[in-house]
Amino acid sequence: MKSITINGSKRESVGKVATKALRNAGRVPCVLYGGDQPLHFSANELDFSKLVYTPNAHTVVIKLEDGTKINAVLQDIQFHPVSDKILHVDFYQLFDDREISMDIPVQITGSAPGVLNSGGVLRLNKRKLRIRALPNNLPDYIIADISKLKLGHKLYTAELKSDDYTFLHPDNTVVCQVRTSRASMNIVEEDEEEATAEAAESGETSEAQASEEAQNPADGE
């Protein structure tokens, strides 16, 4: 998984006055959990743009002023209710031998026969899936192959299992499905009408033949 570097400065004071001063200076108060003690630091608000305003999942390298580098993941983020400015960010430290839970985006691959041939509509029920894995096994995205999805079929998390991570969802969780659309309903109705017309035409032909045979008996009868 790709990492984004956040340059941080340790905070000597964590009171309201110091926090307000940081925000006025365009910096975000942050806390790193998971180690022996919580680590309080601040970072430039602009450094979070590639981490927060993206559908992709990333790990984080927190680089402190003394040269210390700490691997982490974003755990929680608070926004101002009006301005949407970032107010506070929590991180969780990563360790190579400890599993971590994380939301990973779903990437669709392939073409569904139910869409191409039957006029159905693909619905993505889960844009992200929560997994548990060791840091080195965290994927950039989870691939959902829809090349076998026919009209009315669904793709479940049970079909996406991997040895590298564990889904934190039931096996019957629907990831995506091909639903019936108006176009596909029209196709079905047209097929039914054609079948009815063919059956009626066949019936009329049979009746006409029977009537003709009755009016013109075969020779020798």
Amino acid at residue number 218: A
3-state secondary structure of 195: helix
Neighbouring-strand partners of residue 177: 123, 154
> For the domain 3-93, what is the CATH superfamily, name and number?
Ribosomal Protein L25; Chain P (2.40.240.10)
Stretch 187-207: mean pLDDT? 55
Cβ contact 54:48 at 8 Å: no
Percent of the chain scoring above 90 in pLDDT: 63
**Rounded-to-integer distance, Cα 88 and Cα 74, Å:** 11
pTM for this entry:
0.75
Letter string b/e over residues 153-181, b meaning 16 or more CB atoms within 10 A of that residue's CB = bbbbbeebeeeebebebeeebebbbbbbb
**CATH 2.170.120.20 domain span(s) along the chain:** 100-179
**CATH 2.40.240.10 domain span(s) along the chain:** 3-93
Cβ contact 128:175 at 8 Å: no
H or E element at residue 192? helix 182-215
Q: Mean pLDDT across the chain, nearest whole number?
A: 86
Instruction: Give the pLDDT score at 221.
Output: 46
Q: Which CATH number fits domain 100-179: 3.10.350.10, 2.40.260.10, 3.40.640.10, 2.170.120.20?
A: 2.170.120.20
pLDDT in tens, 57-81: 999 999 999 899 999 999 999 998 9
